A and B are shown apart, each in its own frame.
Chain A
Amino acid sequence: MSQAATGIELKKTVIDSVLAGLLALIVFGPIVGLVLDGFDFNAEPKRLFMIVAVVMAGRFAASCFFQSTKGKDFLYKHSSKDEGVHVLSPDHKSKLKWIIPLTIVIAFLVPFIASKYILTVVILGLIYVLLGLGLNIVVGLAGLLDLGFVGFYAIGAYGLALGYEHLGLGFWSMLPIAAIVAAIFGAILGFPVLRMHGDYLAIVTLGFGEIIRLVLTNWTELTHGPNGMNAPLPTFFGMEFKRRASEGHVPFHEFFGLSYSSAYKYIFIYLILLLVVLGVLYVKKRLTQMPIGRAWEALREDEIACRSLGLNHVLVKLSAFMIGASTGGLAGVFFATYQGFVNPSSFTFFESALILAIVVLGGMGSTLGVVIAAFVLTVAPEMLREFADYRVLAFGILMVLMMIWKPRGLVRMTRIGVASREGNVK
């Protein structure tokens, strides 16, 4: 690299930013500047010129920055694209060992401190943690881009509602059944798509998710279509969380001699959900250390090499699909019971994209990253209500920027390496 080129070429920079402004004018003009109103339109020049000015200023600043020495260093630093898995030394001892039990203790205390509103938001966050963990197995570990993940979520949620209405099953029986049913659907989806690669796979899974949603919308005799279905609340040893229990049951608060509060059911759902999330976290941690988890990652990195080494790719991919799907099913059951109601509009493609954004932002394969990202992406928009309209836009921008800047996510996946065997090797 020649050192003479460190000066900023002002002329080129100005031309660049004017061009960028012109492009912004063409692109944003008809959509932002002219707002349709019936067959007429309203002009909004202020909005348009704000955007154009921002684009021009941004382009100018970026141009200047990337031409300076500092900017070049920055570009160089961030040009290494693939960081892969971070392997720690075999005798690595985490200095933050106490943080996990502490977090768990705090998590169990949350419902008794937080208000009902915060509790409902945190429950939603935990549901997305579950979804993120499920999709993380499929996308992050096995490298299979599944855009129909919301289908399994829907299967779980509708499983609860349908099981309640048609078979009289409650929350506790449906929790395992929904996981199993979702896993079976995962296998059904997995089989045909085994032969497909990245992009085709993504589109087919997307189609699968849409098929499920369309069937739920149109099969009105079974699912009541867009009107949705009621889902039952969980019970605590047969005790219900209602003010007045149905016949033959005792409400929870009467049995324990408490005054009625609608928060009990959320506390209860939260605690079960937390246990399930912890269970899934543990299972996932074990899985990544087992041969099957390592096989997922190996397949993600190089499928052809794996197959020529005799790895059964059918089994490996199917297991990833099924385990991921069953986690999605679990999340669906919790979602249904938390809302008390399900309808098809909760299971659109956007939901899949949101879960994918969680996995992408958190770091593919990284458990910690996914947990953090799930909370950031679901709790933050709830807390900042004014910005809720912009959240889809923010997710989109986030996904593009993350892929350009850090394709493997913010938190890199880490694993502890294997110690070499000591002995007298000659």
Chain B
Amino acid sequence: MDIILQQLVNGLSLGSVYGLIAIGYTMVYGIIGMINFAHGDVYMVSAYITAVAIALLSFFGIESFPVIIFGTLIFTIFVTGVYGWVIERVAYRPLRGSSRLSILISAIGMSLILQNYVQLSQGAKQQGVPTLLSGAIRFDIGDGFVQITYMKLFILVASFVGMAVLTYIIQKTKLGRMCRATQQDPKMASILGIDTDKIISTVFVIGATMAALAGVLVTLDYGGFDFYVGFIIGIKAFTAAVLGGIGSLPGAMLGGIILGLSEALFAGLISSDYKDVFSFSLLVVILIFRPSGLLGKPEVEKV
């Protein structure tokens, strides 16, 4: 019983991270109908930037925990946002209007570029960040106990705040309205005076900042990372986006949490070696039986 509860707790924080990254996939897919293959690698880059930011702050002698965390968050989110913008500008904008196959291949190329570029400049070895926040809340249940580390709690709170801010931006602000308009009908939106190119860039930046938030949180929690981490987590976040219905924001969050929970349960109860196999199989199964996901709209084939 305590194992199940513990895995549910772990799954929830894992799932909220998947949800954050899934937002990047879902928004880009919603607006230009492409899978941003390099998105997982943007997450990976943000993990490196997190470590650099922490090292920089400690170099300047900053010790206080809140300052470090917020400094790192702001720095990482800003730089990763610029990454999102540059990637769109370099690899996707020149391809606007060409076939989907070309855009996807360009995205794969971008993913290879990011991975190798980080590997070349930072070295292939595993990197790490110091533990900033330790300790946990413990609940005794029967013979065992369930614990929530402060870091996991922080992940939950921070990702909740991130999602809430994003939802507010998309639902209430002018920028959000322009995003939604472009998502619905790019041609009509541009006729009505919305600079769709700019909106597409913005969406990439938003996706990158959410991935950066996830990158900071996970890096602080696990401590270790290398240039290859973006690949697996990218596919899983994509699975989450598809599960929730790609193109739908609440879907991405829901899908992330469902995937995180089910994966944690699978790892705890059946086999942790095969948990990635489980996620990939889940992706295939969802796409076969419910390609439009839980909250998505069915895709209409245009003739």
Question: A: which residues have CB within 8 A of B?
Answer: 23, 26-27, 29-32, 34-36, 38-41, 47, 81-82, 139, 143, 145, 147, 192-193, 195-200, 202-204, 206-208, 210-211, 214-215, 218, 304, 349-350, 353, 356-357, 360, 389-390, 392-393, 395-400, 402-404, 407
Contacts and interface: CB of A to CB of B under 8 A. Distances in A.
A23 B106 contact: no
B105 A356 contact: yes
A32 B16 CA distance: 30
Interface stretch (B87-95, B150-158, B253-261): B87-95
A23 B120 contact: no
A145 B101 contact: yes
B235 interface: yes
Contacts of B303: 304
B79 A26 contact: yes
B112 A218 contact: no
Contacts of A81: 97-98
Contact of A31 (B48, B102, B129): B48
Interface stretch (B159-167, B196-204, B281-289): B281-289
B121 A32 contact: yes
A218 B273 contact: yes
Interface in B104-142: 104-106, 108-123, 127-130
B82 A39 contact: no
A40 B56 CA distance: 8
A270 B86 CA distance: 45
A393 B58 contact: no
A223 to B, nearest CB: 13
Contact of B280 (A38, A211, A389, A395): A211
A36 B120 contact: no
A199 B104 contact: yes
Interface in B218-242: 231, 235, 238, 242
A197 B101 CA distance: 10
A207 B303 CA distance: 30
Contact of B112 (A40, A215, A353): A353
A207 B112 contact: no
A210 B276 contact: yes
B284 A204 contact: yes
B270 interface: no
Given A204-B283, A304-B301, A393 B113 contact: yes
Given A203-B238, A393-B113, A34 B55 contact: yes
Contacts of A32: 121
B179 interface: no
B22 interface: no
Interface string B4-39: 000000000000000000000000010001110000
B291 A195 contact: yes
A30 B29 CA distance: 29
Interface string B54-70: 11101100000000000
B178 interface: no
Given A36-B51, A403-B105, A199 B34 contact: yes
B52 A196 contact: no
Nearest to A305: B303
Contacts of A82: 98-99
A382 to B, nearest CB: 18
B217 interface: no
A206 B234 CA distance: 12
Contact of B102 (A36, A204, A218, A403): A403
B35 A214 contact: no
B128 A30 contact: no
B191 interface: no
Given A34-B56, A36-B48, A404-B94, A396 B109 contact: yes
Given A214-B274, A393-B120, A399-B109, A30 B100 contact: no
A301 to B, nearest CB: 10
23 contacts: A23-B85, A27-B79, A31-B45, A31-B49, A31-B52, A31-B117, A31-B122, A36-B55, A81-B98, A145-B104, A145-B105, A199-B100, A199-B104, A200-B287, A204-B283, A207-B280, A353-B108, A389-B120, A393-B113, A396-B110, A397-B109, A400-B90, A403-B103
A3 to B, nearest CB: 26
Contacts of A26: 78-79, 82
B266 interface: no
Nearest to A350: B112
Nearest to A364: B101
Contacts of B56: 34, 41
Nearest to A148: B280
B228 to A, nearest CB: 9
B157 to A, nearest CB: 25
A357 B280 CA distance: 24
Contacts of A404: 94-95, 106
B52 A400 contact: no
Nearest to B58: A39
A82 B176 CA distance: 35
Contacts of A399: 105-106, 108-109, 112
B128 A39 contact: yes
Contacts of B115: 392, 396
A280 B131 CA distance: 56
Which of A36, A195, A403 counts the most B-chain CB atoms under 10 A from its CB? Answer: A403
Which of B129, B280, B281 counts the most A-chain CB atoms under 10 A from its CB? Answer: B280
